[in-house]
Amino acid sequence: MNAETAPALARYRQELIVALRLKDVPGDRIGEAVAEVESHVADTGEDPVAAFGPAKEYARTLATGQRRDPWWSTAITLASAGTAGWLVAQGALAQLLGEEYRGLAGWVWVLVGLVVGIPAAVRVQRRSSRVRDPRTGADMVPSSPWGVVVLVAIPVVLVLAAWGLILVTR
Partner 1 sequence: MDADIPSDWLRAVLPMAVLATVAEAETYGYAVAQRLQAAGFGAVKGGTLYPVLNRLETDGLLTSAWREGVGGPGRKFFAVTDTGREHLRRRAAAWHTFTERAASLLPDPRSTR
The C-alpha atoms of residue 127 and residue 163 are separated, in whole angstroms, by: 33
Compute the distance between CA of residue 133 and CA of residue 112 in angstroms, rounded to an integer: 39
Considering only residues 78 through 137, tell me which ones interact with partner 1, judged by CB under 8 A: 134-135
Among 4, 10, 11, 53, binds partner 1 (CB under 8 A): 53
Does position 15 interact with partner 1 (CB under 8 A)? The reply is no
Among the listed ranges 31-39, 84-92, 108-116, 162-170, the one in contact with partner 1 (CB under 8 A) is 31-39
**Closest distance between partner 1 and the C-beta of residue 32, in Å?**
8
- Shortest distance, CB of residue 41 to partner 1, whole angstroms? 7
- Per DSSP, the residues of 64-126 read TT-----HHHHHHHHHHHHHHHHHHHHHHHHHHHT-EETTEEHHHHHHHHHHHHHHHHHHHHH
User: How many alpha carbons fall within 13 Å on the CB side of residue 56?
Assistant: 0
Answer yes or no whether residue 28 interacts with partner 1 by CB under 8 A. Answer: no
**Contact with partner 1 (CB under 8 A) among 62, 89, 120, 140:** 62
Which residue type does 119 have?
P
Among 41, 87, 124, 152, binds partner 1 (CB under 8 A): 41
Q: Which residues bind partner 1 (CB under 8 A)?
A: 32-33, 35-44, 46, 50-53, 58, 61-62, 134-135
